[in-house]
Amino acid sequence: MTINEFFLQFVDFNEAELAHLNALAKHEQIKKGEYLIKHGQVCDKLYFVTKGIFKLGYTNETGEEVVLDFIFQNSFAVDYVSFLLQRPTEMDIIAVKDCQLLSFERKSILMLYEENIKFQKMGRLISEFYFIRFAERIKENSLPPKERYEKLVSTSCELILEIPQYLIASYLGISPEWLSKLRAKK
């Protein structure tokens, strides 16, 4: 999926509007293990992942890494709270593998909102899409680990193979040993 195909899922842009959006995008690359966004920074860009996988999480008080979510290609990598409120993030977004991105500066997005109501609509619909995804993720946390694992595999099967087992276990809130047992039952 291209960035244009992604945007067209939400709003029926014409060629000139898509060209305007694309002109604002900057190509970036992040190597495996590098931070896209680090705890304490203010998120001032939206990143569209064209290739790669990121993990979103934090380090708890005992020094243990907690993975809250994975960000796959054809989706946005951003701490929306930091981006919208312009306050320091409490999360880290780190590349699980080499990644390619398109970045959009916050000031450019705000400028788009002022120029054309279609861009406002796009921003609202994408925000609603991610809010629903976040709400579903919270609901999934109440499921037993086996069901959470099956849901993860069903939505991102081939990409899951590229994520280390200990990160998937952290995401599911279980030990790597328990994850091995779940996988063995398949």
List the structure tokens of 143.
């499921």
What span, in angstroms and rounded, lies between the C-alpha atoms of 38 and 88? 9
Residues 72-109: pLDDT tens digits?
999 999 999 999 999 999 999 999 999 999 999 999 99
The band of 186, judged by pLDDT with boundaries at 50, 70 and 90, is: low
The band of 154, judged by pLDDT with boundaries at 50, 70 and 90, is: confident
Residues 94-151: pLDDT tens digits?
999 999 999 999 999 999 999 999 999 999 999 998 899 889 888 888 888 888 888 8
Residues 8-42: pLDDT tens digits?
999 999 999 999 999 999 999 999 999 999 999 99
Position 58 scores a pLDDT of 94
Count Cα neighbours of 68 within 13 Å in the Cβ-side half-sphere.
17
- Angle between helices 145-160 and 176-184 in degrees, nearest 10: 80
Kindly write down the DSSP assignment for every residue of 22-53, as one continuous string. HHH-EEEEE-TT-EEE-TT-B--EEEEEEE-E
Position 144 scores a pLDDT of 86
Position 26 scores a pLDDT of 97
Residues 38-72: pLDDT tens digits?
999 999 999 999 999 999 999 999 999 999 989 99
Give phi and psi for 105, each to the nearest 5: -70, 145
Domains and CATH numbers, the chain: 3-141 (2.60.120.10), 143-186 (no CATH)
What does pTM read for this prediction?
A: 0.89
The band of 157, judged by pLDDT with boundaries at 50, 70 and 90, is: low
